[in-house]
């Protein structure tokens, strides 16, 4: 099977009506129609074998997660996802692997009506790159740089589960004894995260800044601080932690998972206190838990508090994931 057969068999499907595709998969480049009055929002993520995932991870889950991490970036900008391109580098054209990967990718794309419009395939060490484009009303994108002193800090969902599952996987691979039942019950938090696209759209015009929690809560809160030239005080007692973790970990370890684990793909955002009532309505309408976890300050850095005591020094090294650290 050559690369053209691979594309035709596994990655060429009919266009969706909302994708505005004039020319898609199969030509030298895709041609997409722009929407008057809306800005294009583009992101990309790469997943490399041995860096972002173990070689024996389900290809279906890889395809699903690759789409969701891009969808999460668009969600953080308040954008509506529309199209995607895929660059696939594989050591061999394993039909079974590619079919499973394609099915997982399309399941995630279909949830949010995203059309795959092109890409590239090549031979080499396994690397998966998805680029995704969405739209937002011109001038209405939510950025990291809009937080104001006095804003409240909110986060969606629950934090730390993906980091806990990754820890179990590593321990298992090293020959340790792990709770396989727990691993099976919670593995989707790591393997099949759900991007908060609807929430991102709902908080557009409400949130002053936003970022998705991919590298860890502390690291991503710091990105807001840097972009907005503010500080953030986090109340660790208010963090939304999955109740199952308390059955297996001490509270300090659970907090560490939430602060530095990453891979949560929840939305961390800031809101003017006078607008927070709107969040209760959004939470109820979407069925998504939202938790107030802190305040924007003038300190220029992230500080952590427990029982009103500054414990920042204890977590100073919990900086989250970085490729080159």
Q: What is the pLDDT of residues 261-306, one digit of tens each?
A: 889 999 999 999 999 899 999 999 999 999 999 999 999 999 999 9
Distance CA 190, CA 188 (A): 5
Q: Give the chain's radius of gyration (CA, Å).
A: 20
Question: Phi first, then psi: what are they for 12, rounded to 5°?
Answer: -115, 115
Do 118 and 155 reside in the same domain of the chain? no
Structural domain of 200: 144-315
Do 85 and 159 reside in the same domain of the chain? no
Domain of 21: which CATH number? 3.30.1330.10
Distances (CA, A) of 316 to 79, 216, 230, 269, 302: 33, 13, 18, 22, 10
Do 110 and 247 reside in the same domain of the chain? no
Name every residue whose Cβ is closer than 8 Å to that of residue 236 and which is 6 or more positions away in sequence: 255, 259, 304, 305, 306, 311
pLDDT at 222: 95
Q: Which residue has the tokens 């308390």?
A: 246
Beta-sheet strand order (sheet of 231-235):
207-212, 267-271, 152-156, 290-297, 231-235, 302-306, 309-310
Distance CA 64, CA 112 (A): 12
* Closest C-alpha among 259, 225, 269 to residue 239: 259
Whether residue 324 is contained in a domain is answered as: no
Whether residue 175 is contained in a domain is answered as: yes
Q: What is the pLDDT of residues 79-107, one digit of tens each?
A: 999 999 999 999 988 889 999 999 999 99
Q: How confident is the model at residue 324 (pLDDT cuts 50, 70, 90)?
A: very low
Whether residue 211 is contained in a domain is answered as: yes
Helix and strand counts by DSSP (H, E) for the chain: 10, 13
Do 62 and 203 reside in the same domain of the chain? no
Do 166 and 288 reside in the same domain of the chain? yes
* Closest C-alpha among 16, 155, 152 to residue 84: 16
Distance CA 199, CA 79 (A): 10
Instruction: Count Cβ atoms below 10 Å from residue 47 Cβ, excluding itself.
Output: 17
E strand spans, the chain: 21-23, 31-32, 38-48, 80-90, 115-123, 127-137, 152-156, 207-212, 231-235, 267-271, 290-297, 302-306, 309-310
Whether residue 325 is contained in a domain is answered as: no
Distance CA 201, CA 61 (A): 25
Dihedral sign for Cα atoms in the order 237, 238, 243, 245: negative
- The total of structural domains in the chain comes to 2
Domain of 150: which CATH number? 3.90.650.10
Do 22 and 116 reside in the same domain of the chain? yes
Do 75 and 124 reside in the same domain of the chain? yes
pLDDT at 93: 83
Mean pLDDT check: name the lowest of 22-31, 39-48, 74-83, 227-236. 22-31
Q: How confident is the model at residue 131 (pLDDT cuts 50, 70, 90)?
A: very high
Whether residue 321 is contained in a domain is answered as: no
pLDDT above 70 coverage of the chain, percent: 89
Distance CA 118, CA 115 (A): 9
Domain boundary, last residue among 96, 122, 137: 137
Whether residue 227 is contained in a domain is answered as: yes
Domain boundary, last residue among 119, 137, 155: 137
Length of the chain: 325
Q: Please say if the pLDDT value at position 140 is more than 60.
A: yes
Whether residue 320 is contained in a domain is answered as: no
Q: Please say if the pLDDT value at position 323 is more than 70.
A: no
Do 310 and 169 reside in the same domain of the chain? yes
pTM (global) more than 0.85: yes
Do 116 and 256 reside in the same domain of the chain? no
Whether residue 276 is contained in a domain is answered as: yes
Domain boundary, last residue among 137, 156, 191: 137
Do 164 and 41 reside in the same domain of the chain? no
Contact 140, 200 (CB under 8 A): no
Is the model more confident about 183 or about 32?
32
pLDDT at 311: 92
Do 86 and 170 reside in the same domain of the chain? no
Do 199 and 123 reside in the same domain of the chain? no
In angstroms, how far is CA 79 from the centroid of its own chain? Answer: 14
């Amino acid at each position: 099977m050559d690369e053209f057969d691979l594309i035709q068999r596994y990655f060429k499907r009919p266009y969706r009506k909302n994708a505005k595709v004039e020319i898609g998969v199969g030509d030298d480049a895709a041609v997409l129609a722009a929407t008057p009055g809306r800005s294009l929002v583009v992101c990309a993520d790469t997943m490399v074998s041995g860096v972002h995932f173990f070689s024996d991870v389900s290809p279906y889950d890889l395809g699903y997660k690759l789409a969701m991490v891009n969808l999460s970036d668009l969600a953080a900008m308040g954008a509506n996802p529309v199209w995607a391109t895929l660059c696939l580098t594989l050591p061999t054209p394993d039909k079974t692997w590619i079919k499973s990967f394609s099915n997982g990718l399309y399941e995630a794309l279909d949830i949010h009506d995203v059309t795959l419009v092109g890409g590239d395939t090549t031979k080499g060490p396994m690397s998966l790159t998805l680029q995704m484009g969405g739209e937002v009303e011109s001038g209405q994108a939510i950025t990291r740089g809009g937080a104001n002193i006095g804003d409240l800090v909110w986060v969606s969902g629950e934090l730390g589960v993906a980091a806990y599952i990754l820890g179990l996987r590593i321990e298992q691979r090293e020959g340790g004894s792990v709770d396989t039942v727990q691993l099976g019950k919670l593995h989707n938090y790591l393997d099949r995260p759900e991007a908060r696209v609807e929430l991102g759209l709902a908080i557009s015009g409400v949130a002053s800044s936003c970022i998705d929690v991919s590298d860890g809560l502390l690291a991503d809160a710091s990105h807001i601080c840097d972009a907005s030239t503010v500080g953030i005080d986090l109340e660790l007692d208010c963090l939304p932690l999955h109740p199952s973790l308390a059955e297996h970990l001490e509270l300090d370890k659970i907090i560490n998972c939430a602060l530095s684990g990453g891979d949560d793909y929840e939305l961390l955002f800031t809101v003017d206190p006078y607008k927070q009532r709107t969040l209760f309505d959004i939470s109820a309408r979407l069925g998504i838990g939202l938790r107030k976890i802190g305040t924007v300050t003038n300190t220029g850095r992230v500080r952590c508090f427990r029982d009103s005591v500054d414990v920042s020094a204890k977590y100073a090294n919990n900086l989250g994931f970085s490729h080159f650290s």
